[in-house]
A and B are shown apart, each in its own frame.
Chain A
């Protein structure tokens, strides 16, 4: 089922992208033009010494830095060289609003095709989609659940491999008593109807996840398929069976990023599924902005679990798993987490990766929900855009703009 869904997603992407690829091969690359990009994050500073306020800003910083610096270490993700030594240099900078990058004529890898990149920040998802529809921008990351809708409305959509895990991560704090048990976590995992989330919430742009690594990376994800993957009723039955050991209906608080509508929708669906099984889950929005960071931390101490979106940092199974566990451990309070006990050293063999994944899965502290791809909306003039693989960044250094279709001003 999940493979079918993945295949269908890829097929959609292929159908949309193939004509563009064919056109690109049919034409020679063209130098010049300004690529207009819109992103949701608001990057407040490009100073390496400052810390981003949110994960979204951090990710955006990484993407921008990859355009400004000469090279990036594949393992630790650090950039080398001076700012401006990369394919682009800063031309104009309005913190959290606008960033204009100009092509670096002296870039060691060769001058980029485009003359400049104009990045508009802090742009809402619906505005980005609208601008794509109106050809007001050339590039905009989209939410997975908007991919289908965007394609239906004529927007060019580029999908990466499903490289982002949406997971339910149970907290395990040394400072607070753990309210959950293996059985309760397993019951919740069993009760969740992942297929419904993929079909309805993700609008089929994504696939149910059962392991910590996607099938296309590990090849062993099917081994962790939960009972609900066959039929939701089986999952509910399994959950009820597990809950028999509890004298009263368990009550949990599930937190999600208040700025992420996808996390909210998934959290609310999980609450509905859990209620059917006999578990009361209350959802709680956790603010992520710097101004409310203190409140977020305080509120996160009230939650028992979080909806986490963890992007894989590598296509290599061992590195991907290590990166995923490291991120999840940060979310779930690593000091007391069994995730830490599973070891941080990269696994050497495929069996080591599987064993480690199995050990973590056994705790049900990370409940995989969905694999989703990175979705990019592109204008018709963007050429040679390859959706980045895990660990890679936006390939603006290799993209060129077809001068025939001009975006509206």
Chain B
């Protein structure tokens, strides 16, 4: 990925992240506000419920007390206080009295706890209501929540008990109001809030016992978990119910067990706060964020593209400049835009390339001088050796001519022989320098490397076993089926010849010269190893430098020629050496070399080639 692409992506991501953060922040803030609103509604509803609950309690207590204080009730109590009184005449009284006092529950209970008359369960006359007789002071008790047995099964009611005492006998008036949806309908609920009442009159959850204002609550089963939890451990709790995802419909329910602070829950008051408005707003914000993101993304794409282009253009120019410098064009300059960091960078880059060119020119000059000096030293060294015998021989000829004419002929013959030999030496030296200078461009043709290796070894066979010097044993490990390579056979022959010569020079005490060929899919390798004294690491590094030699009489051109030939064939050469063990050269040549590039000869030789006659 380019720098511009990265920059572009970063711009876009930053833009999206900003929109997302804003959307989330707005969502959270609005949700918090709605939660607070819902909480306020819930608290208000609960307070209203408690006020209404207390009001109903007081009302029930007053009504029951009113019945107890009525003349008819007193007359009943007086009648029942008599021995052998007939209670059956009062069996239907509760019905009429309860209707006139608008009570859902009314029981007249005798002194022994037997039901005399019951409104809610007329057939239970004669049965005991023992709990009534267990409390001594009903007047101070007030109304309370209680499960009442009725003809239609158990029901919950706000119950109050009053006592009519005649003599030592009591007549208990038990009355109450049913706790049902009518009670819920008396609550004024804030918008989006509803109240439910679960009548805990069965041991297991019964959906029919969950009441709303209009009757049994719909989808009551969804609240079963909350109710069952409260049945096990009554305490104030809250739970969020998602009725449906689409359309969004969710409610948060707050549960208040009744009576409060009692382990025996009789009813559960539930306040449901609709989350629909909150969900709708959240969704609106989400969609708005998506829409803004989409527009922002489009706008951001354009802006980011423009900004990235503007920012990266100087950088790209710098990259192009550095690439040209890397390619050798040290005179490259990049335009300077502005005075910011990028502009300063471009300015510095231009300064660096200027200094680089100056340094390079200076270095070239220095190297040229050094090369000339080296060449002069080498030439002086090479030429000095033959020149000394030439001078001595010429001086001997002069001496013989002046002082020993008789011996002059003999001296002349010997001297001319020496002169010819030394001149031959001079000629050979000059030829070697000339050859290096005249490195020709390779002419490629299919070449069998094994064949070239064999020819070179054959050329040196006489010298390997020459009398007077320790023998060198050549070992050839040539891979059969080595593919033909595109190469210049003459140049390769010359390079291998130099390597063999180098190896022979490295083994003055004799040894083993091993030549090995092998190939990979696209290369062939030639390995030339000797068992000589080896090279030091420093020598290994400089061994391919022209005119460098570790030998006493070397020109330092042999391995430089080898490297030039290998490079001209698109190959590479490396050396491995271990002191005291030997040295191994590895030539890797491509089977199909790329476009051949001729290695320029050292400047001194190119600029001033020395014409050397062929031997």
For the complex, give the distance between the alpha carbons of A268 and B124 in Å. Answer: 9
B79–chain A nearest beta-carbon distance, Å: 14
- Asked if B126 and A196 sit within 8 Å, CB to CB, the answer is yes
Please classify the interface of chain A as helix (H, G, I), strand (E, B), loop, or mixed, using the class held by over half of its residues: helix
- Asked if B151 and A200 sit within 8 Å, CB to CB, the answer is no
- Asked if B121 and A201 sit within 8 Å, CB to CB, the answer is no
For the complex, give the distance between the alpha carbons of A200 and B115 in Å. Answer: 12
* A269 lies within 8 A of chain B by Cβ: yes
For the complex, give the distance between the alpha carbons of A201 and B88 in Å. Answer: 8
Q: Which of B111-160 contact A (CB under 8 A)?
A: 121-127, 151
Contact of B91 among A193, A201, A271, A276 (CB under 8 A): A201
- Asked if B121 and A272 sit within 8 Å, CB to CB, the answer is yes
- Asked if A271 and B89 sit within 8 Å, CB to CB, the answer is no
A44–chain B nearest beta-carbon distance, Å: 32
Q: In the assembled complex, which residues on chain A have CB atoms less than 8 Å from the CB atom of B151? A: 268
- Asked if B89 and A265 sit within 8 Å, CB to CB, the answer is no
Q: In the assembled complex, which residues on chain B have CB atoms less than 8 Å from the CB atom of A199? A: 88
- Asked if A265 and B126 sit within 8 Å, CB to CB, the answer is no
* A203 lies within 8 A of chain B by Cβ: yes
- Asked if A265 and B88 sit within 8 Å, CB to CB, the answer is no
* A204 lies within 8 A of chain B by Cβ: yes
For the complex, give the distance between the alpha carbons of A148 and B88 in Å. Answer: 11
Q: In the assembled complex, which residues on chain A have CB atoms less than 8 Å from the CB atom of B91? A: 200-201, 203
For the complex, give the distance between the alpha carbons of A199 and B125 in Å. Answer: 11
Chain A, residue nearest B126 (CB): A196
Q: In the assembled complex, which residues on chain A have CB atoms less than 8 Å from the CB atom of B125? A: 196, 200
Q: Could you give, for residues 133-150 of chain A, a 1 whenever the CB lies within 8 Å of some chain B CB and a 0 otherwise?
A: 000000000000000100
For the complex, give the distance between the alpha carbons of A200 and B122 in Å. Answer: 10
Q: In the assembled complex, which residues on chain A have CB atoms less than 8 Å from the CB atom of B88? A: 199-200, 203-204
Q: In the assembled complex, which residues on chain A have CB atoms less than 8 Å from the CB atom of B121? A: 272
Q: In the assembled complex, which residues on chain A have CB atoms less than 8 Å from the CB atom of B123? A: 265, 268-269, 271-272
- Asked if B127 and A272 sit within 8 Å, CB to CB, the answer is yes
- Asked if A268 and B122 sit within 8 Å, CB to CB, the answer is yes
For the complex, give the distance between the alpha carbons of A32 and B197 in Å. Answer: 67
Q: In the assembled complex, which residues on chain B have CB atoms less than 8 Å from the CB atom of A271? A: 123
Q: In the assembled complex, which residues on chain B have CB atoms less than 8 Å from the CB atom of A268? A: 122-123, 151
Q: In the assembled complex, which residues on chain B have CB atoms less than 8 Å from the CB atom of A204? A: 88
For the complex, give the distance between the alpha carbons of A271 and B122 in Å. Answer: 12
Chain B, residue nearest A201 (CB): B91
Interface size on A, residues (CB 8 A): 14
For the complex, give the distance between the alpha carbons of A135 and B124 in Å. Answer: 36
Q: In the assembled complex, which residues on chain A have CB atoms less than 8 Å from the CB atom of B89? A: 148, 203
- Asked if A193 and B126 sit within 8 Å, CB to CB, the answer is yes
For the complex, give the distance between the alpha carbons of A268 and B122 in Å. Answer: 8
Q: In the assembled complex, which residues on chain A have CB atoms less than 8 Å from the CB atom of B122? A: 265, 268
Chain A, residue nearest B124 (CB): A272
For the complex, give the distance between the alpha carbons of A244 and B222 in Å. Answer: 40
A249–chain B nearest beta-carbon distance, Å: 15
Chain B, residue nearest A232 (CB): B126
B202–chain A nearest beta-carbon distance, Å: 14
A156–chain B nearest beta-carbon distance, Å: 20
Q: Which of A278-321 contact B (CB under 8 A)?
A: none
For the complex, give the distance between the alpha carbons of A199 and B127 in Å. Answer: 14
B305–chain A nearest beta-carbon distance, Å: 80
Q: In the assembled complex, which residues on chain A have CB atoms less than 8 Å from the CB atom of B127? A: 272, 276
For the complex, give the distance between the alpha carbons of A199 and B85 in Å. Answer: 13
For the complex, give the distance between the alpha carbons of A193 and B124 in Å. Answer: 11
For the complex, give the distance between the alpha carbons of A265 and B88 in Å. Answer: 14
B109–chain A nearest beta-carbon distance, Å: 15
Q: Could you give, for residues 262-275 of chain A, a 1 whenever the CB lies within 8 Å of some chain B CB and a 0 otherwise?
A: 00010011011000
For the complex, give the distance between the alpha carbons of A212 and B121 in Å. Answer: 30
Chain B, residue nearest A270 (CB): B123
For the complex, give the distance between the alpha carbons of A274 and B122 in Å. Answer: 15
Q: Could you give, for residues 148-188 of chain A, a 1 whenever the CB lies within 8 Å of some chain B CB and a 0 otherwise?
A: 10000000000000000000000000000000000000000
A272–chain B nearest beta-carbon distance, Å: 5
Q: Which of A229-279 contact B (CB under 8 A)?
A: 265, 268-269, 271-272, 276
Chain A, residue nearest B117 (CB): A200
B346–chain A nearest beta-carbon distance, Å: 97
Q: In the assembled complex, which residues on chain B have CB atoms less than 8 Å from the CB atom of A276? A: 127
For the complex, give the distance between the alpha carbons of A199 and B122 in Å. Answer: 14
Chain B, residue nearest A197 (CB): B123
For the complex, give the distance between the alpha carbons of A15 and B451 in Å. Answer: 158
For the complex, give the distance between the alpha carbons of A190 and B125 in Å. Answer: 18
For the complex, give the distance between the alpha carbons of A193 and B122 in Å. Answer: 15
For the complex, give the distance between the alpha carbons of A276 and B88 in Å. Answer: 21
B611–chain A nearest beta-carbon distance, Å: 131
B394–chain A nearest beta-carbon distance, Å: 147
A266–chain B nearest beta-carbon distance, Å: 9
Q: Which of A197-240 contact B (CB under 8 A)?
A: 199-201, 203-204
A200–chain B nearest beta-carbon distance, Å: 4
For the complex, give the distance between the alpha carbons of A179 and B413 in Å. Answer: 157
Which of A200, A203, A272 is most buried by chain B, counting CB atoms within 10 A of its CB? A200
Q: Could you give, for residues 340-375 of chain A, a 1 whenever the CB lies within 8 Å of some chain B CB and a 0 otherwise?
A: 000000000000000000000000000000000000
For the complex, give the distance between the alpha carbons of A200 and B89 in Å. Answer: 7
Chain A, residue nearest B125 (CB): A200
Chain B, residue nearest A283 (CB): B151
For the complex, give the distance between the alpha carbons of A193 and B151 in Å. Answer: 17
Chain A, residue nearest B121 (CB): A272
B217–chain A nearest beta-carbon distance, Å: 25
For the complex, give the distance between the alpha carbons of A201 and B122 in Å. Answer: 9
B476–chain A nearest beta-carbon distance, Å: 107
Which of B91, B123, B125 is most buried by chain A, counting CB atoms within 10 A of its CB? B123
A9–chain B nearest beta-carbon distance, Å: 13
Chain B, residue nearest A204 (CB): B88
B285–chain A nearest beta-carbon distance, Å: 55
For the complex, give the distance between the alpha carbons of A271 and B153 in Å. Answer: 11
Q: In the assembled complex, which residues on chain A have CB atoms less than 8 Å from the CB atom of B124? A: 272
For the complex, give the distance between the alpha carbons of A200 and B127 in Å. Answer: 12
A285–chain B nearest beta-carbon distance, Å: 12
Chain B, residue nearest A203 (CB): B88
B420–chain A nearest beta-carbon distance, Å: 141
Chain A, residue nearest B116 (CB): A200
Chain B, residue nearest A202 (CB): B88
For the complex, give the distance between the alpha carbons of A159 and B151 in Å. Answer: 32
For the complex, give the distance between the alpha carbons of A200 and B121 in Å. Answer: 14
For the complex, give the distance between the alpha carbons of A196 and B91 in Å. Answer: 11
Q: Which of B48-93 contact A (CB under 8 A)?
A: 88-89, 91
For the complex, give the distance between the alpha carbons of A271 and B149 in Å. Answer: 13
For the complex, give the distance between the alpha carbons of A268 and B88 in Å. Answer: 17
For the complex, give the distance between the alpha carbons of A271 and B124 in Å. Answer: 10
A193–chain B nearest beta-carbon distance, Å: 7
For the complex, give the distance between the alpha carbons of A199 and B88 in Å. Answer: 6
For the complex, give the distance between the alpha carbons of A269 and B124 in Å. Answer: 7
B507–chain A nearest beta-carbon distance, Å: 114
For the complex, give the distance between the alpha carbons of A199 and B89 in Å. Answer: 9
For the complex, give the distance between the alpha carbons of A158 and B367 in Å. Answer: 155
A251–chain B nearest beta-carbon distance, Å: 14
Q: In the assembled complex, which residues on chain B have CB atoms less than 8 Å from the CB atom of A265? A: 122-123
Chain A, residue nearest B153 (CB): A282
A97–chain B nearest beta-carbon distance, Å: 30
For the complex, give the distance between the alpha carbons of A227 and B343 in Å. Answer: 118
B155–chain A nearest beta-carbon distance, Å: 15
Chain B, residue nearest A266 (CB): B123
For the complex, give the distance between the alpha carbons of A148 and B125 in Å. Answer: 18
Q: In the assembled complex, which residues on chain B have CB atoms less than 8 Å from the CB atom of A201? A: 91
CB-defined A-B contacts under 8 Å, sample of 19: A148-B89, A193-B126, A196-B126, A199-B88, A200-B88, A200-B91, A200-B126, A201-B91, A203-B88, A203-B89, A203-B91, A204-B88, A265-B123, A268-B122, A271-B123, A272-B121, A272-B123, A272-B124, A272-B127
Known A193-B126, A269-B123; further 14 A-B contacts with Cβ < 8 A: A196-B125, A196-B126, A199-B88, A200-B88, A200-B91, A201-B91, A203-B88, A203-B91, A204-B88, A265-B122, A265-B123, A268-B151, A272-B124, A276-B127
Chain B residues packing against A (C-beta within 8 Å): 88-89, 91, 121-127, 151
The 3 closest A-B pairs by CB, nearest first: A268-B123, A269-B123, A200-B91
